[in-house]
Amino acid sequence: MKILRVLLIILLVSITFGCASTGKGPTEVVYDYNVNADFSSLKTYDWLATSGGVKINQLVIVRVKDAVDTKLQARGLALSKDDPDFLITMYGETLREYETKWKGLDSNLWNDEGRIKLAFFDSQTNEVIWWAETRADVYLNMPPEEKTKMVNDAVSRMLEKFPPNPPE
């Protein structure tokens, strides 16, 4: 009888944790940069026109640009159409991800995962000098304020890596 109680407790604990929300929080930022680039000389930037590689809607594109502009200008960089030091482009996509963790009978095991990538190019050589990518799940049914918050958070996490710390 004691063994049965222990097994029942283990079963209840397993079910409780198995059904608990596993809401995905912010994920890490993946980034890379040209170790030979002189980031201290960068003072001005401009945006490249978005291309077919941006698989996100126009309002999210505007939110990303606003968030990047705000962060970069707070660091003393200036948006300039006249001979900028570097150019920025963005890419975005939504991936279908299969969740292997059981979350209950009413859950959908397929999730949409959004990604945003920023790439900075040297305006003279057109070579990538820095890029970063992170997850930003912006869903159609989210209120606009929540979409803005999600984008701002994603951009903040990416730009924490810019400019990169020089290697020691």
pLDDT 10s digits, 146-156: 989 989 999 99
Residue 44's H or E segment, with its range, is strand 44-47
d(CA 5, CA 2): 5
pLDDT digits (tens, 9 = 90+) for 83-107: 999 999 998 766 555 555 555 555 5
| Domain 28-159: assigned CATH number | 3.30.160.670
pTM greater than 0.75: no
Domain extents in the chain = 28-159
d(CA 148, CA 49): 21
d(CA 8, CA 10): 5
